[in-house]
Amino acid sequence: MHMIGRLALWFAATLVVAAHCCAADLRSDWIFTPSTEFPQLTTLSIEGQTGSIRSLWYGDLPLLNLHRDGERLIFQIDNGNPRLEKHDLTLAPTATGWVLTGQLWDTQLNVTARKADRREVEARAFPTYALPRLRDLPDNGLARTPPMGWNSWNKFAEHIDEKTLREVADSLVSTGLRDAGYVYVNIDDGWQGIRDAGGKLQPNSRFPDMKKLADYLHSRGLKLGIYSSPGPKSCAGYPGTYGHVTQDAQTWAAWGIDYLKYDLCSGEAFYHTYETVRATYQQMGAALQATGRPIVYSLCEYGRFNVGAWGRKVGGNLWRTTRDISDDFPSMAKNGFDQAAPAENAGPGGWNDPDMLEIGNGGMTAEEYRTHMSLWSLLAAPLLLGNDIRSISPETLAIVANPEVLAIDQDPLGRQARMALRKAGSEIWIKPLADGSSAVGLFNRSTSPVQLSVAWSELGIGPRPRVRDLWRHVDLESAADGVATAVPPHGVVLLKVRPAVTPSPSSP
């Protein structure tokens, strides 16, 4: 072999040795000490320049930007949620063994690990399941007007129990709220226990007997709602339906459940494309329909992938269009005004859901809560109270039970309001109603009072309409050409405007 040939051979051999050396170097397997802490990491496997980390919340997730710094392994994790900031995690030797540290989304990790062999990792394999082919499910015939009721989350978070729920239910009856339409009593996250040997999910000790609870609510003219997630874990870390979709739907139907809120939560790692998110919601929609029980189906995936365009097709009756509301004006205003979802997706049987009500929870003024109630009613939003009904104040009751405002939300035409005009720091929203009139909300989003003058012609409304103020419960006699009114800071004037000549209900 001449010189060049020998050199080429040497070079190739060096490359092979080098490749072999580094791949072998970077191949390692690890087992984490079992933990109940989020995200319950179980194993880590490194193979060359790639690797994956396994947890009970997210199954297997690929490692990003994996590199080595001396003995330390550094990488990031992506669970498919584009909103979550990625930080470096470091697996490093310490005096007491190997420890993985770093910030994982909102959580500071500090988990011990030990080297393992591949078989130990394989023994902890995480199951994956096929999703159904996309198809359109039939309308379930429910929620012809936006669902109304109460939900435990905004006030109690996961600290909810059967006794409290029954007391809230009794208060819905004694305050007249049930008769005003608030009939669904929905348990949010925190009721779930563990699965029995047959895989059937049991409630935890705070809810000893779901069937009895449903029977009790039904006997009081109320309905019972429940909460779950398509992933292995709910947002608060309780078991989701992963691998048990049909079984859980059947369990709930047997208990007498009337409403399901299905929250993506840890499912976002498994389902983070349009097709998979839609398919997983369809899977539960079909499972609910197959039970034969009428169950209102609430999708909660925070508005991803334009959910309003396909929510009905997966059997949904309402779909969250926003992130979680909190009990303050900016959060409420962001969900209600700024993120109002496309109005054309809302109508009988399917509603945009800007999240549950905070009225009465104490973080806003009565004026702001009237804005919250008015806006949700104009948006034809589901009205799920989130306060403690057992101690509801007369002022809060007057806001949430105002029959003239509730009639706007529950109007049978089922149209969602549109923002018609911005004027003097204010927004004017209009919702067409079944009787040919319109609900008009004059909102002041600023922190100073405004004096607002709006000609009916600016809103496409003919002259001399009949006008009623729905919070003051009075007819406004002097509103022939328009309305001139003061609107308090963060406040609202909500009107029902009936044209002198009533157009046919189908016209806009």
Residues found near ligand GLA in the complex (CB under 6 A)? 153, 188-189, 234-236, 263, 300, 324
CB 302 within 8 A of CB 264: yes
Residue 474: count other Cβ atoms within 10 Å of its Cβ.
10
With respect to ligand GLA, which residue has the nearer C-beta, 324 or 328? 324
With respect to ligand GLA, which residue has the nearer C-beta, 210 or 235? 235
The CA dihedral of 33, 35, 40, 42, to the nearest 10 degrees, is 20
With respect to ligand GLA, which residue has the nearer C-beta, 77 or 325? 325
Shortest reach from residue 237's CB to ligand GLA, in Å = 8
Helix (H, G, I), strand (E, B) or coil at 82: coil
Q: Known catalytic residue: 338?
A: no
Q: Prior bond to 503 cis, omega within 30?
A: no
With respect to ligand GLA, which residue has the nearer C-beta, 188 or 388? 188
CB 485 within 8 A of CB 442: yes
Query: Cα(271)–Cα(276) distance, rounded to whole angstroms?
Result: 5
Query: Cα(380)–Cα(383) distance, rounded to whole angstroms?
Result: 9
| Block residue for tokens 């399901």 | 260
| Block residue for tokens 């299905």 | 262
With respect to ligand GLA, which residue has the nearer C-beta, 58 or 153? 153
Query: Cα(157)–Cα(471) distance, rounded to whole angstroms?
Result: 31
Shortest reach from residue 54's CB to ligand GLA, in Å = 23
CB 365 within 8 A of CB 490: yes
With respect to ligand GLA, which residue has the nearer C-beta, 153 or 429? 153
CB 495 within 8 A of CB 468: yes
**In sequence order, what are the beta bridge partners of 259?**
225, 296
Cβ neighbors of 390 (< 8 A, separation 6 or more) are: 167, 168, 171
Shortest reach from residue 355's CB to ligand GLA, in Å = 7
Shortest reach from residue 484's CB to ligand GLA, in Å = 40
- Options 60, 139, 324, 328, the catalytic residue: 324
Q: Which residue is nearest to ligand GLA (CB)?
A: 235
Shortest reach from residue 154's CB to ligand GLA, in Å = 8
- Options 29, 258, 263, 409, the catalytic residue: 263
Cβ neighbors of 311 (< 8 A, separation 6 or more) are: 281, 299, 318, 319, 345, 350
CB 339 within 8 A of CB 321: yes
Q: Known catalytic residue: 324?
A: yes
Q: Which residues are catalytic?
A: 263, 324
